[in-house]
Structure 1
Amino acid sequence: MTRSRPGRANLESVAAAAGVSRATVSRVVNGWASVAPELRERVERAIAELGYVPNQAARSLVTQRADAVALVVAEPDPRVFGDPYFSGIVRGVSTELLSAGVQVVLLMAQSDEELSGIERYLRTAPLDGVLLVSEHSSNDPIPAAMIEAGMPLVIGGRPMQPGLDVPSVDNDNVGGARVATEHLVARGCRRVGTVAGPIDMAAGVDRLEGVRLALGGDLPADRVEHGAFTQASGEEATRRLLDRVPDLDGLFVASDLMALGALRALRLAGRRVPDDVAVVGFDDIPLASATEPPLTTARQQTVLQGRTMARMLLARARPDLRLREAPEVPDVTPDRVVLPVELVVRDSA
């Protein structure tokens, strides 16, 4: 059998090479089960020999499947590529989707205008579903738009919009922050403060709630500062906190990146960690064990979160797919899955 030049093979040439009809080739390409094994083998051999690549748009019209899922991240590029949280989500999502033969389309929005443009694209794009992470407010247009368009959607994190009936996969942000703060109290800290996350994000709100629960609701307003889940914002927030509460002896920081900034601010202020101020972060990013001193932190499972999100979406959008066994991934039948968070104790607290 002679190999055709790349890009020139079509259904007719595959059919001629395999000695079958064009319709039989189409059924094999589109995954129909009603093709005899011997014919299927001949067609697949011809496809491999000729280097035939199906037209995805035409195939989608026949199968009503796009074999593609959009991963939407409402964050600027530097945050997406600089924060290990997002790399873990992308890795987990890609692991599950690609093993199922489904492509990942990564979309990032740096402004409300860009988010609106993505929303318009998602309404008509050839997609099997949408994964949304880093939802920033109850005004995010994407969830309502996807529900209206009948597009399957899974949110990473707790949905911000009250009453929004959308499947989601979250980490136990409240419980993790509570355990982390209780650890500070248990080691003798009496003036505990926090660098909390943004109040327009569920993770920021929930981790602050965990601190309050651990302190029995006794969290004065002057012991709370907010950052943007970045190292620079963590350093600036810690400086402001120390200006107001110079005798601070315990600090829960709502992300490890912000904790890196907090450690620098404390060092520049002449405060020793943990002797003067004990510090606990949240995430357990790779750098957490390499800080000076190594950072005590609440470990969340971002790769597992991404994998669970992907499987949850495929279970709803593509029930025809047979997913590989993954006993480590929780049951995705419920519409809300909350992954456990554990405290990793190191030298900072």
Structure 2
Amino acid sequence: MAEAMGTVTIEEVAAAAGVSRSTVSRVVNGSELVRPDTVAAVQKVIAELHYVPNRAARSLASRQTMAIALVIPEDTSRFFGDPFFAAIVPGINARLRRAGYMLNLLIADSDPGNRLTGYVRGGYVDGAIIVSHHTSDTFIDHIVAAVPVVYGGRPAQHRPGTYYVDVDNVAGAREATRHLIERGCRTLGTITGPRSMPAGIDRLEGFRQALAEAGIPEGPVVAGDFSVEGGAEAMRSILAAGEVPDGLFVASDLMAQGALTTAQGAGIRIPQDLKVVGFDDSSVATAVNPKLTTIHQPSYEQGELMAEILLDILSGGKPPHETIMPAELVVREST
């Protein structure tokens, strides 16, 4: 079936431009992975031949739905309450929209009765992006077996051929801890993310690497859950133990908010008595008092890149399996 509204097909465009069919598809879909000179050559042929992609015809011919699932293995309260999702989802949606795809949001902390995986495997989407996954999220295996998948963050379970986009969590946590050391902190603790999530594991690793480099013994290490209450509860545990550090790296801004409020309620001055660094550089970082020194991760850009990679896979491309984005320190008043 022809893929144009006239008589010109995508194969004819590819032949005239001297490129592959998948390259023409990437240019049409707005992929940023094609060289500028190739884009110009393909666009010139498209204009000369008056080629117009017919998405309805293409969908019918290839059984494409032009829809992508965004799978969030969390409950709705966590999804709507975490600024990370508020930043990453618009980036995903913006890139898919430019390519003519719809985004289907699927939120589930588990999949009883296989309702979510049944939807994906039923042919309603062409691919999936999975964000905020845990080692216990075994239902993801059914999604991976059904459609192409790109992960947001290093997968909790490594599978051959996995594609993912992550922030350099180890380097970011290491930089945060070094900053506390440079500010004169010598008793350093951390509130970690969940040990069931690679981000939680990697940020703890970066914290420990910085301490080892400086020859400073490890202070209190308390597990959190990336929530405000999780940070508050962890801070209460530190206070109850009676060994309050002078520097604290907290693995998310939300947990840092809870920790700050709890510490201040106990009469601890920030940053005079306790210096605090968070992670995310979300809206929370500038809403707390004092404003939070934190590690910036480019969440919107991460969302765009995940969508870009999935689109490239769907068009027959071979993008890198692993993409690591930089994390940078943003200094504010809490240190």
Residue 286 of structure 2 corresponds to residue 278 of structure 1: no
**Structure 1 counterpart of 2:220:** 223
CA distance in 2, matches of 1:283, 1:209: 17
Q: How does 1:113-124 map to 2 (within 5 A)?
A: 113=112, 116-124=114-122
Shift in Å, 1:64? 2.7
TM (norm. structure 2) is 0.81
Query: Does the CA-based 8 Å contact 1:139-1:161 persist in structure 2?
Result: no
Q: How does 1:25-40 map to 2 (within 5 A)?
A: 28=5, 32-33=9-10
CA distance in 2, matches of 1:91, 1:30: 37
CA distance in 1, matches of 2:195, 2:312: 32
Q: Deviations over 1:251-276 (max 9, x none)?
A: 11100011111110111110000100
Secondary structure of the corresponding residue to residue 267 of structure 2: coil
Query: Does the CA-based 8 Å contact 1:30-1:62 persist in structure 2?
Result: no
Shift in Å, 1:120? 2.3
TM (norm. structure 1) is 0.78
Query: Does the CA-based 8 Å contact 2:74-2:132 persist in structure 1?
Result: yes
Secondary structure of the corresponding residue to residue 165 of structure 1: coil
**Structure 2 counterpart of 1:214:** 210
Secondary structure of the corresponding residue to residue 129 of structure 2: strand
Q: Deviations over 1:129-165 (max 9, x none)?
A: 11000111165332x324433x211000001113543
Q: Deviations over 1:41-62 (max 9, x none)?
A: 9x99xx9xxxxxx9x6x86332
Residue 268 of structure 2 corresponds to residue 254 of structure 1: no
**Structure 1 counterpart of 2:165:** 169
Q: Comparing 241-250 with 79-88, which one deviates more in the overlay?
A: 241-250
The answer for unaligned runs of 5 or more in structure 1 is 1-22, 48-53, 321-331
CA distance in 1, matches of 2:232, 2:269: 15
Decide whether aligned partners of structure 1 residues 89 and 189 sit closer, same or farther in structure 2, where only a CA change above 3 A counts: same
Instruction: Report which of the two structures shows the higher radius of gyration computed on alpha carbons.
Output: 1
**Structure 1 counterpart of 2:134:** 136
Shift in Å, 1:333? 2.5
Shift in Å, 1:63? 3.2
Decide whether aligned partners of structure 1 residues 127 and 276 sit closer, same or farther in structure 2, where only a CA change above 3 A counts: same
For these two proteins, the number of residue pairs brought into alignment is 300
Query: Which of residues 307, 310, 316 in structure 2 aligns to 1:310?
Result: 307
**Structure 2 counterpart of 1:180:** 176
- The AA in structure 1 aligned to 2:266 is A
User: Identity of counterpart residues, as a percentage?
Assistant: 44
Cα RMSD, aligned residues only: 3.0
**Structure 2 counterpart of 1:85:** 84
Secondary structure of the corresponding residue to residue 223 of structure 1: strand
CA distance in 1, matches of 2:133, 2:246: 33
